[in-house]
């Protein structure tokens, strides 16, 4: 159930509580209105969050020529340059059903990157 939902505040979902039909409806509304939402009580440790933040900072700090090896014209197609995603943001996609294998196929192309095994 969202803790708050308004035109001023980002929708917040506590996933430690059972999911109800109204929660799913609110989640759908958040996705349609905002395009994203905040999840709390997810069980991801602060240590894993710090590692992930450090890893993503190092990846997005790589030179453009390195990142574009994962871009739209590559076989992997996991990197979306900022001019395609938006004028301000760039992104990396990781696909299921095997998210680790997807991330590993991307990181294998990037030189001097942290080892993704630590997130297994």
Residues 23 and 13: beta-carbon distance below 8 Å:
yes
Q: Name the pLDDT band for 117 (thresholds 50, 70, 90).
A: low
Provide the b/e sequence for 11-34 (b: ≥16 CB within 10 Å).
Answer: bebeeeeeeeeebeebbeebeeee
SS3 state of residue 97: coil
List residues bridging with 13 in a β-sheet: 2, 39
Which CA distances in Å does 27 have to 12, 15, 22, 33? Answer: 9, 11, 8, 10
Q: Convert the pLDDT of each residue in 11-31 to its tens digit.
A: 888 989 888 888 888 888 888
Q: Are 90 and 82 in contact (CB under 8 A)?
A: yes
Greater pLDDT, 118 or 8: 118
Dihedral sign from CA coordinates of 15, 119, 79, 55:
positive
- Residue 81 pLDDT class (50, 70, 90 cuts): confident
Average pLDDT, the chain: 78
- Beta-carbon contacts of 115 under 8 Å, excluding residues fewer than 6 positions away, are none
- DSSP letter for 34, please: T
């Amino acid at each position: 159930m969202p803790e708050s939902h308004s035109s001023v505040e980002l929708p917040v979902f506590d996933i430690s509580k059972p999911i109800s039909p109204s929660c799913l409806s609110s989640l759908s509304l958040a996705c349609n209105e905002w395009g994203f939402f905040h999840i709390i009580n997810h069980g991801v440790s602060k240590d894993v969050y710090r590692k992930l933040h450090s890893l993503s900072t190092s990846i997005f700090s790589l030179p453009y020529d390195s990142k574009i090896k994962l871009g739209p014209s590559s076989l992997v197609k996991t990197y979306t340059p900022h001019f395609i995603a938006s004028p301000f943001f760039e992104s990396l996609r990781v696909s299921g059903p095997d998210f680790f294998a997807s991330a590993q196929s991307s990181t294998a192309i990037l030189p001097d990157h942290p080892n993704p095994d630590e997130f297994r």
